[in-house]
Amino acid sequence: MFCWGNATHHELCIDGSENLDLIIKPTISKWKESGHVQSVAAGEFHSLYLTNIGHLYSCGNNDVGQLGRHTKDDDGKYPGSLVETFKGCNLSAIACGLQHSMAIDEWGQPFSWGSDSMGQLGSNLGAHAQDKPKIIKLLATKNLIQIACGSYHSIALTNNGELYTWGANSFGQCGLGMMSNKETTPQQITSLVGVPIALVTCGSNHTFVLSKSGAVYGFGKNGHGQLGLQDKDNRCYPTHLKSLRNVKVCYISCGEDFTAFLTLDGGVFTCGSGEYGQTGHGSVKDELVPRKIMELMGSTVTQIACGRRHVLCRVGDRVLACGYGARGQLGCPHMAFALVPTPVPFTPNDESPTEPADSNKFSTLFNGPIRVFAGGDHSFLVVHSDKSIQADARIPDAKKQILTLNIPKLAACEVFKDDDVVNQDLMAYLETVFGSLSCLNASFLLQNSAHYGCNTKVPGVDIKKAEEAFSIISRFENTSIKELIFSHLTENVIKGVKSSPPDAEALRVFLLLPLYHEMRNPRRHPELQGPFAEAFNRLLVHPQKIVHLWWEAQTAEYFEMLVDIFKSVIVYELMQPVVRLNKSNQLHLCNYAFLFDVQCKSLLLKIDQQLQMQMAIHREVTQIFTRLFMDPTYEYHRDQFLQLTVSRNHIVRDTMLQISNHDSSQLKKPLRVEFVGEEAEDAGGVKKEFFLLLLKEIFDPVYGMFKQSEETNMIWFSNNPFEDDVMYYLIGAIYGLAIYNSIIIYVPFPLVLYKKLLDESVILDDLSDLYPTLANSLKHLLEYPDEDVEEVFCLCFAVNTVVFDQVQVHPLKENGENVPVTHENKAEYVDLYVDFLLNKSVENQFKAFNQGFQKVCGGRIIKLFRSHELMSVVIGNEEYDWEVFESNAEYKNGYCATDQQIRWFWEIFHELSLEDKKKFLLFLTGSDRVPIQGMKDIKIVIQAVADDRYFPVAHTCFNLLDLPRYKTKERLKYYLVQAIQQTQGFSLV
């Protein structure tokens, strides 16, 4: 070990008999343990030395017990004996303040000694000194991995990522969000919860914290710009130094009032006081923003170490120094200060009369790793005998990093069966990692530097590695391990997410937790998926956007998994016997329509309709009870249904009259229909036929309310109807009733109707469903490349319509009939034309229709649907799968799948034409279209009847077919084909 600089109080490890105040060039220590030193910590007038086997030595001033051992006469001048307190254990880390010292033992327990004038010992001694190391009781249960000391304050990092500070806080150097004289006991810095911390370090009155991916946070004194925040204002809370976000800072060292940052590529940035050239920029001015040392450009710096007013840099085979040097700390004889990094001259022994040409290159003279240390006004160079020691500060010491999930540790858990006793060390590891948001966010980072600069595009997570790890976790059999993981993730991690995280690195948990296999278990949603979703919803706009972008950037498989997680929870809840779906839940779900496919939305709509029906019935009961209470003589007739009684001959008149007499609450009841003179009980089938007949008649051109496209047979609102808007209102309500009562009805409305019902924008393509020739002509106009549009097309901003053989002109804009369509305004013309045909020309008609529709079907749930989805729910589809139809069949009253009549039936059915198959579907179910859930949602039940003189009979309400036991296949076919031609009318069967 070599040392140089101030030795006034014998803080340098040299022979104390020499009585030298200054060592002006690197001098080898003659102390017998100097060849085994692992690290050095230096205060202003004392130093600590930690050996490779964890033994602690100290020397220098001991006025307040900062050496941790009793000294007499010249005992403090030389580190001759061990600090007795630690003779029975090994230490892992040491740190020095101005007059206090700290150490961590092999179990992560912290010790402190020396002055406690500002509470820097963390033991609340009331300003007394402590001459022997004692454990900091409030941190005794924590496992510390890093410590650092300022002049009068201290900071510690635990293995689960927690930060604690104590001591002087008049500049805010404790980072607790307020300034105070002192904090006498350790306090947690909660503002950085969730950020995976890699390093802590202190200047005299300021502190820096570095994250795993290079985020730099500073707090405390900033009078010289040492926090790098472009000003000189002190900070009492960790403040992100954003200017360094993308330079990949990997190590930080602090001086008295300046700071040095080492980057992965070997560059050095400095900021703060430059009074003695310690910032290395060739001047003595303060630097308020971190600035790269240009003198080191082209070199790769592997280590930096700051003293009070000087800095050391290791560059290849050399050590360079800059800053204050009047006390020999630069190692350059007679140099009072250096404004730029200057090579430290070095010779292998002090007796060499002249220095060789390569005297600045020291690494070639030693067989082992070399590290530099600095503190106060002195410097150290340690040559390690252990070649495995990491001497590059850019590579973090694995033993001093917070715990993370790693595959070997997880794989070790697989061997434990359900009732096995798990060893305590492994359980402690699992408890730490799965109980810490910071540890999870530090796990599975991309290799090398790929995880640095965590932002909207770079989460820095190796998803493949994470998937592998969580796959192992899913195979765990031991109950204790599984319960520990689940409880810690739900109680500590998810609940620990802040609404405004300090950095994007704290959001990685939103990428990792969906990989946990229990997230795919919907029964866990009260403790797991629900709180996870709530944690996301609590995020402020910017962090929520980051997570959105991360999710979107993942593979399709990952995103589908994410959607399935929450979809499965909703479906699980909806399928419960008593659905726990209330208004607030609906509002919440409607914000996340993207989570649900159309089948799930359809199910949600059905459940919502059932709830509204129940609420309508409950309201009526309440009203009846109130009236009876007010008037006991009141005679009431309670009907839990919306009862419509109509004749087949006057179905439109009867329906309109009865609908108009009911208020909104009545329309919310379950619908029941009765045809005059018919005795069929309406269990579903009568309603189907009712809507089929009613809507067929309503849309008959004879009423003039709707017109049919000659090109596509689609129907649209008439722009000159015979009836008033009230009729459109009632038709809208009827259309809504069909949807509300889950009746599939095929009305050839174009997609644009559903777009308008859902307030989606109408575009030119929507015109194609009604008027494809016109739509193509308008597209041709838009695509026409030449300037002579006016001459070729001869159009103006007006539309002509024919009403009762009279041509009416409709200007599309003011004086439109006199405004020609040109190359410049043709896009405007097309937009106005489409708007006129699909919106303005039928504005009143659609408005009334929509009001009637929304009166029955309106609400947040309907807004979940996209227009094409709602259309498929209303009219079904024609995606027939007859094999599924057969495989889904059930048999009763003596029939089974192997019976001769059943085999004949299916042979005959599959031989039918598509049109006859559709007729059979209409005969059986009341509709020839397929529900949104597909053919699997149509379950035919075939039951045997004895008398083969009758036709097959369909109980449409129940999809039940009475099939007689016909003696021949031909007879069965004849009767079946004849039966399916009769699809109107119900009788009591």
Mean pLDDT per 10-residue section of the chain, whose length is 989 residues? 82 62 82 88 94 92 92 73 88 96 96 96 86 94 97 98 98 97 96 97 98 97 97 97 95 98 97 97 96 95 97 93 94 90 75 44 64 94 78 93 96 92 94 97 94 92 96 96 96 94 95 96 92 91 92 89 82 63 51 63 69 65 61 57 85 85 75 79 68 80 83 88 79 83 80 92 92 93 92 90 78 91 93 94 92 82 82 84 92 91 93 91 82 83 87 81 92 91 44
Q: Positive or negative CA dihedral for 940, 961, 883, 922?
A: negative
- Closest Cα to residue 379, out of 22, 67, 16, 20? 22
In sequence order, the 6+-apart residues with CB closer than 8 A to the CB of 98 are 43, 44, 115, 151, 152, 204
3-class secondary structure, 48: strand
Supply the pTM of this predicted model.
0.68
Give the whole-angstrom CA distance, residue 959 versus residue 940: 5
Residue pair 271/279 in contact by the 8 Å Cβ criterion: yes
Q: Which helix (H) or strand (E) holds 614?
A: helix 598-630
Q: In this structure, how many other beta carbons lie within 10 angstroms of the beta carbon of residue 10?
A: 26
CA dihedral 650, 653, 654, 659 (to 10 degrees): 150
- Closest Cα to residue 519, out of 497, 486, 493, 492? 486
The residue with tokens 């090398």 is 448
Q: What is the pLDDT of residue 15?
A: 60
Give the whole-angstrom CA distance, residue 319 versus residue 225: 26
Residue pair 513/456 in contact by the 8 Å Cβ criterion: no
The residue with tokens 């391990």 is 481
Give the chain's largest Cα–Cα span. 130
Give the whole-angstrom CA distance, residue 412 versus residue 416: 8
Q: What is the pLDDT of residue 646?
A: 87
Give the whole-angstrom CA distance, residue 757 versus residue 834: 17
In sequence order, the 6+-apart residues with CB closer than 8 A to the CB of 192 are 163, 209, 217, 238, 502
Question: What DSSP state is assigned to residue 453?
Answer: S
CA atoms within 13 A on the CB side of 674: 11
Give the whole-angstrom CA distance, residue 354 versus residue 352: 6
Q: Positive or negative CA dihedral for 386, 392, 398, 400?
A: positive
Work out the burial of residue 948: count CB atoms within 10 Å of its CB; fewer than 13 is exposed, 13-18 middle, 19 or more buried.
middle
Encoding tokens for residue 988?
């009591």
Question: What DSSP state is assigned to residue 738?
Answer: H
Encoding tokens for residue 74?
């010249």
Q: What is the pLDDT of residue 587?
A: 47
The residue with tokens 């995976």 is 196
> Catalytic residue numbers?
957
Residue pair 401/145 in contact by the 8 Å Cβ criterion: yes
Give the whole-angstrom CA distance, residue 273 versus residue 256: 9
Q: What is the pLDDT of residue 350?
A: 44
Encoding tokens for residue 371?
């590290």
Amino acid at 122: G
3-class secondary structure, 777: helix
- Closest Cα to residue 274, out of 260, 294, 263? 260
Q: Positive or negative CA dihedral for 580, 581, 583, 588?
A: positive
Give me the count of residues in the chain.
989
Give the whole-angstrom CA distance, residue 619 versus residue 611: 12
The residue with tokens 């003011």 is 814
The angle formed by the CA atoms of residues 561, 563 and 566, to the nearest 5 degrees, is: 110
3-class secondary structure, 643: strand
Give the whole-angstrom CA distance, residue 427 versus residue 222: 44
Alpha helices in 48-150 (DSSP H): none
Give the whole-angstrom CA distance, residue 686 versus residue 445: 63
Give the whole-angstrom CA distance, residue 219 versus residue 202: 10
Give the whole-angstrom CA distance, residue 811 versus residue 814: 7
The two beta strands, 642-646 and 671-675, are parallel
Angle formed by the axes of helices 651-660 and 685-698, nearest 10°: 100
CA–chain centroid gap for 546, Å, is 7
Give how far Cα 758 sits from Cα of 317, 852, 869, 881, 970, Å: 72, 14, 11, 30, 51
The residue with tokens 């309503």 is 698
Alpha helices in 661-769 (DSSP H): 664-667, 685-698, 725-740, 751-757
* E-only strand ranges, 53-109: 56-60, 91-96, 100-105
The angle formed by the CA atoms of residues 766, 769 and 774, to the nearest 5 degrees, is: 80
The residue with tokens 């927690």 is 162
- 745-766 burial, b at 16+ Cβ within 10 Å, e below that, comes to bbbebbbbbbbbbeeeebeeeb
Give how far Cα 305 sits from Cα of 50, 231, 322, 701, Å: 17, 25, 11, 91
Encoding tokens for residue 221?
């004194």
Q: In this structure, how many other beta carbons lie within 10 angstroms of the beta carbon of residue 815?
A: 10
Give the whole-angstrom CA distance, residue 591 versus residue 777: 40
Q: What is the pLDDT of residue 672?
A: 83
